[in-house]
């Protein structure tokens, strides 16, 4: 019998504000963060370390515009998996060139990939050769991304939680 999953420790209002501020600007200094959430620098530093240790904050990184680095075409690729554990296929897919993200989903499909490439030819090769021909992949269906608009990052939704 499997152990019941432990519920994560809830975030208090200050931790939620810290996470929301860092999701807006991951380069904030501890001093600026402390000022924005109205706590001392020491408290901000300690809370930040605790959030990292708990796995709430998993890293800091730059958001990159695909087109500015030469990845001018993107697609969502819907994948159905055969009699192979989806985790195994997902790891192999995530390691392929041009695959940005692999998401397991419910319903009549198994995985959704975000794939970006420099041009149509390389995108086609990535989908038809690398992804579709991978052992265990039963079928793929591709949808070109014509435009993207940013939404609300998950951490910024913490600002609107009701307690």
State the pLDDT at residue 80. Answer: 96
- 143: CB partners within 8 A, 6+ apart: 75, 76, 77, 78
Residue 35 structural domain: 13-54
Confidence at 31, pLDDT banded by 50, 70, 90 = very high
Contact (CB, 8 A) for 92 and 134: yes
Q: Is the pLDDT of residue 107 over 50?
A: yes
Domain count of the chain?
A: 2
Task: Determine how many CB atoms are found less than 10 A away from the CB of residue 81.
Answer: 21
- Quick: pLDDT tens for 122-138: 999 999 999 999 999 99
Q: Assess if residue 154 is contained within a domain.
A: no
42: domain CATH number is 1.10.10.10
Same domain, 136 and 98: yes
Same domain, 44 and 113: no
Same domain, 41 and 79: no
Same domain, 73 and 139: yes
Q: Assess if residue 137 is contained within a domain.
A: yes
DSSP string, 109-133: --EEEEEEESSHHHHHHIIIIIITT
Same domain, 47 and 112: no
95: domain CATH number is 3.30.70.920
Same domain, 73 and 93: yes
Per-residue CA distances from 7 to 11, 19, 80 (Å): 12, 19, 31
State the pLDDT at residue 1. Answer: 43
Same domain, 70 and 140: yes
Contact (CB, 8 A) for 113 and 93: yes
Q: Reduced to 3 states, what is the DSSP secondary structure of residue 31?
A: helix
Q: Reduced to 3 states, what is the DSSP secondary structure of residue 91?
A: helix
Q: Assess if residue 90 is contained within a domain.
A: yes
Q: Assess if residue 158 is contained within a domain.
A: no
Percent of the chain with pLDDT over 70: 89
Single out the residue of 7, 14, 23 nearest to residue 47, CA to CA: 14
């Amino acid at each position: 019998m499997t152990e019941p999953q432990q519920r994560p420790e809830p975030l208090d209002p200050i931790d939620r504000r810290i996470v929301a501020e860092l999701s807006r600007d991951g380069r904030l200094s501890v001093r600026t963060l402390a000022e924005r959430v109205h706590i001392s620098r020491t408290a901000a530093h300690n809370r930040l370390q605790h959030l990292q240790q708990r796995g709430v904050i998993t890293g800091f990184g730059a958001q990159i515009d695909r087109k500015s680095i030469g990845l001018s075409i993107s697609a969502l690729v819907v994948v159905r998996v055969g009699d192979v554990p989806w985790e195994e296929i997902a790891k192999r897919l995530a390691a392929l060139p041009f695959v940005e993200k692999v998401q397991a989903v419910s319903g009549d499909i198994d995985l959704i990939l975000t794939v970006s490439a420099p041009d149509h030819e390389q995108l086609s090769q990535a989908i038809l050769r690398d992804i579709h021909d991978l052992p265990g992949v039963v079928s793929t269906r591709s949808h070109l991304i014509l435009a993207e608009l940013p939404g609300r990052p998950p951490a910024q939704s913490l600002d609107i939680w009701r307690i």
